Amino acid sequence: MEQLINYIEEFVKLDDDAKAALHELTEMEHFSKNKYILEPGQRCNKIWFLKRGMVRKFYLNDGQEETVWIHTENQTFTSLESYAQNTPSKEYLQACEDSELICITKGNSEKLAEFPKIVAFVNAMMGREFANIDKHTKALNQRDAKGKYEYLREIAPELLKRAKLGHIASIIGVSRETVSRIRKA
């Protein structure tokens, strides 16, 4: 919990009321390795903060797993499409290590909206998310295999260290063999 507050306070300073509300309106969850946090068909009505562990977001395309992203400690994640539109998810969220999460439901998130500081945080975080998606899409869309791998190293070195090579290959859209060769070089 302290971690989540620290994370929020990178954006805005919280007063005690807001902190208390956070304590009250969030929950801890634990998922052991390989367990699913969300599966296709479920409506995603939570946002999670990853306290410890690693979580992979992927979907099936023609039976093949396509890894979208892998989150590491101190990041927030959700199945955005499902959450934002209240539709059944097409994605899996899976713990790829034993993971501890702090979650907040959509309903509780609305209750938190009465704290201006928390609203300011959400806006700032969304702004940052937008910017990241933007940057990210541009980077992965145009570079060659090496360039994409280097981009991952820049923005998510932890992911590169801990995730399986095959999952990394899938994120940047190249074959496992190519990632292996990039690493050797």
164 binds, options DNA, its own copies, none, Cβ within 5 to 8 A by partner type: DNA
CB closer to its own copies, 21 vs 68:
68
> Cβ(172)–Cβ(148) under 8 Å?
yes
The CB-of-109 to its own copies minimum distance in angstroms stands at: 13
Question: Interface with its own copies includes 35 (CB under 8 A)?
Answer: no
Rounded CA separation 185/177 (Å): 12
Q: In the structure encoding, which two tokens stand for residue 139, read together? A: 């980077």
Does position 39 interact with its own copies (CB under 8 A)? The reply is: no
Q: Which residues bind DNA (CB under 7 A)?
A: 144-146, 164-166, 173-181, 183-184
- 137 is an interface residue for its own copies by CB under 8 A: yes
CA distance 165 to 152: 13
Residues near 45 by beta carbon (within 8 Å), at least 6 away in sequence: 83, 86, 105, 106, 107
Interacting positions 69-88 with its own copies (CB under 8 A)? 80-81, 84-85, 87
Question: Judged by CB under 8 A, does residue 36 bind its own copies?
Answer: no
CA neighbours closer than 13 Å in the CB half-sphere of residue 182: 21
Q: Is residue 21 close enough to count as binding its own copies by CB under 8 A? A: no
Tell me the helices (H) and strands (E) count for the chain, helix number first: 9, 8
| Structure-token pair, residue 62 | 């023609």
Q: Minimum distance between the CB of residue 173 and its own copies, rounded to whole angstroms?
A: 5
Sign (positive or negative) of CA dihedral 9, 11, 13, 19:
negative
Among its own copies, DNA, none, what does residue 180 contact (CB within 5–8 Å per kind)? DNA
Helix (H) or strand (E) holding 46: strand 46-52
Is residue 151 involved in binding its own copies (CB under 8 A)?
Answer: no
Output the smallest distance, CB 166 to DNA, in A.
Answer: 4
CB of 34 to DNA, least distance (A): 9
Interacting residues toward its own copies by CB under 8 A: 59, 61, 66, 68, 80-81, 84-85, 87, 126-128, 130-131, 133-135, 137-138, 140-142, 173
